[in-house]
């Protein structure tokens, strides 16, 4: 799995300055997922450029549906890593819906490529497995670009102008 996701993401191809690539692998809901995230950090701003995901669900009954689930999981995971914060004031949650809870918008969404391995193992899940590896792969990509480890989420609180 790790070799496959690295190959699909062109792992050995160098990236330009201020760019980084990170990788993570996890198993959840009976599926194994590897993800590579590519980022650019310029002018103190982080941009997620690309996410490559490889999933082994055992057997993909509906490959297009599986890809859609993984891609939505990537967006959900990136949203949590970048912006995911719930605040409490006077004992109540401040955010009530997406108008006041920051989420990735279409113009911020990275290119996502999803590849399926039908290994014949027991069938696993399709929706949730796209989420867990995104944040560690993203943090690894930032480390690769800057040489500094990220230890706190959400990333919206990180001053990227001091990294590097």
Predicted pLDDT of residue 164: 59
Output the CA–CA distances (angstroms, integers) from residue 33 to 15, 58, 138, 154, 155, in the order listed: 23, 11, 15, 22, 23
Question: CA torsion 150→156→160→164, rounded to 10°?
Answer: 20
Please report whether residue 152 resides in a domain. Answer: no
User: Is 65 among the domain residues?
Assistant: yes
Count up the domains in the chain and report the number.
1
Is the torsion defined by CA of 63, 67, 72, 73 positive or negative? positive
Task: Decide if 161 is inside a domain.
Answer: no
Which domain does 134 fall in, by range? 2-80+106-145
Please list, in sequence order, all residues whose beta carbon lies within 8 angstroms of the beta carbon of residue 146, skipping any fewer than 6 positions away.
Answer: 20, 41, 160, 163, 164
The rounded distance, in Å, linking the Cα atoms of 22 and 76 is 18
HSE-up (13 A, CA, CB side) for residue 123: 7
Render pLDDT for 109-130 as a digit per residue (tens, 0 to 9): 999 999 999 999 999 999 899 9
pTM across the whole model:
0.94
Examine residue 51 and state whether it is found in any structural domain, yes or no.
yes
**Model confidence at 161: pLDDT above 90:** no
CATH number of residue 18's parent domain? 3.30.365.10
Q: pLDDT per residue over 3-34, tens digit each?
A: 999 999 999 999 999 999 999 999 999 999 99
Best CA proximity match to 31, nearest among 114, 112, 119: 119
What letter does residue 127 receive in the DSSP assignment?
S
């Amino acid at each position: 799995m790790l070799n496959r996701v690295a190959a699909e993401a062109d792992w050995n191809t160098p990236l330009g300055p201020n760019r980084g690539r990170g990788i993570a692998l996890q198993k959840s809901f009976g599926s194994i997922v590897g993800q590579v995230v590519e980022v650019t950090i310029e002018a103190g701003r982080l941009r997620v450029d690309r996410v490559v995901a490889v999933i082994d669900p055992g057997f993909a009954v509906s490959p297009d549906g599986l890809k859609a689930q993984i891609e939505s999981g990537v967006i959900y995971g990136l949203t949590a890593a970048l912006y995911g914060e719930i605040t409490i004031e006077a004992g109540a949650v401040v955010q009530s819906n997406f108008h006041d809870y920051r989420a990735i918008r279409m113009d911020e969404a990275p290119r996502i490529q999803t590849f399926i391995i039908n290994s014949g193992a027991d069938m696993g899940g399709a929706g949730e497995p796209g989420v867990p590896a995104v944040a560690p792969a993203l943090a690894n990509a930032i480390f690769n670009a800057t040489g500094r480890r990220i230890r706190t989420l959400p990333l919206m609180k990180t001053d990227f102008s001091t990294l590097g």
